[in-house]
Amino acid sequence: MAMPSSGCLFFSSSPATLLLRPALPHLSLPTRRPPRPRQQISLHRRATRQGNPPGTNPAAASSQSSPATHETLTDELKWEEALPSCLLRESLPRHVAIIMDGNSRWARDKGLPVSAGHEAGYRSLKEIIRLSCLWGIRALTVFAFSSENWFRPKAEVDFLMTLFQGVLKENFDIFVREGIKVRIIGDSAKLPKPLQKLAKEIQDVTVNKTRFELIVAVSYSGRQDIVLACQKIAQKVKDRLLEPDEITESLFAQELETNHSRDFPYPDLLIRTSGELRLSNFLLWQSAYSELYFTKSNWPDFGEADYIEALQSFQRRQRRFGQRIS
């Protein structure tokens, strides 16, 4: 497993160590500390230590997501204290998307049933959500189940549906308490009725939460997302509410399933685990300018060290959006 750069507070663990690490019982954000005066000097010191004058990091300057306007002083201090020193807060991606691939391969490599792989994958997801909240990343989209996954063996699909239901139930109160807005995107009509009901309930209850957004793609297809958006627009055209030449990219984007997030609509960084080099029909429109990061680790092995490495890779990139940076 790759090691993060020297000077970082956290060091990588071998897969064996990750397995021995006790599973977290539930998500928890760090406890709030009494607020203290904002230390602008420490930010400047960190930025100049890294060699960049403050406010000029290219990755931060060109982040697709709009700056959060509702970060509290307490949140900023907490993120700054918790962030590994090898990462710069001002150049972190605001929105990270992850294709959580490799659960079955992980289980097969260890001689375990596929269900064990998915359960290990869930533990990885909990840890990444915890770290994302801790470090001030504002939105996380995860590809949990694609429209093509329905062709997997029925036993595996049934297990996954049960797992999703269990995960939502287990973490329901935590999402509410910690201010996490949960959104489920995908063709929910194909999901079992109890899961549909639970998904709707959790989305309704957390709709006004603002601390962190968790978007879970279940039975999702990027192409279907585009086609459904097109159909909604075609309906408006049919109802004479819109002319074809009035359709713009922003109008179209509002009809996509990711339209609920105004501050962080598109991922800045898209991570895919397990070494596969493709997008697999995930967020096709939305990932037009996302930085892609591919890692050979299977999803259950993707831990803090891998996440730090992915974020460091993002920080090193120069995002140009078709323009020149002299």
Partner 1 sequence: MKYKRQNNFKSSSNIFGRIWFSMRMFLFNVLSFGPLPAHIAFIMDGNRRYSKKHNSKEDTGHNAGFSSLISTLQYCYELGVKYVTVYAFSIDNFKRKPDEVRSLMNLLKEKIDELLEETSVINKYDIRVNFWGELNLLTEPVRLAAKKAMTVTGKNTGPVLSVCVAYTSTHEILHAVQESCANVNKMLAERYSNECINSAEGLVSVADLEQHLYSGSCPEPDIVVRTSGETRLSNFLLWQTPYCHLQNPGALWPEFSLWHLVWSILQYQRAYSSLQERRMRSKKTY
| Residue numbers 104-163 binding partner 1 by CB under 8 A | 147-148, 150-151
Q: Judged by CB under 8 A, which stretch of 1-9, 177-185, 274-282, 298-306 contacts partner 1?
A: 274-282
Q: Using CB under 8 A, which of 36, 154, 193, 324 touches partner 1?
A: 324
Nearer to partner 1, 85 or 235 (CB): 235
In the region spanning residues 184 to 243, those forming contacts with partner 1, defined by CB under 8 A, are 221-224, 226-227, 229-235, 237-238, 242
325 is an interface residue for partner 1 by CB under 8 A: no
Looking at beta carbons only, is 6 or 323 nearer to partner 1? Answer: 323
Q: How many Å apart are CA 155 and CA 163, to the nearest integer?
A: 12
Please identify, using beta-carbon distances, which residue of 152 and 209 lies nearer to partner 1.
Answer: 152
Of the residues 51, 193, 248, 262, which one makes contact with partner 1 according to CB under 8 A:
248
Among 135, 164, 293, 302, binds partner 1 (CB under 8 A): 293
* Catalytic residue (choose from 101, 225, 268, 301): 101
Stretch that binds partner 1, among 58-66, 118-126, 282-290, 301-309 (CB under 8 A): 282-290
Q: Which two tokens stand for residue 112?
A: 């375990």
Give the type of residue at 48: T
Residue 101 annotated to the active site = yes
Task: Enumerate long-range contacts of 3-10, CB under 8 Å, 24 or more apart.
Answer: 3/305, 4/84, 4/86, 4/305, 4/308, 4/309, 4/312, 5/86, 5/312, 7/85, 7/86, 8/84, 8/85, 8/86, 8/308, 9/84, 9/85, 10/84, 10/304, 10/305, 10/308
Q: Which of 292, 291, 288, 293 is nearest to 319 (CA)?
A: 291
Report how far apart, in Å, the C-alpha atoms of 66 and of each of 93, 95, 188, 264 are. 11, 10, 29, 7
Residues in contact with partner 1 by CB under 8 A are 147-148, 150-151, 221-224, 226-227, 229-235, 237-238, 242, 244-245, 247-249, 252, 276-282, 284-285, 287-294, 317, 319, 321-324
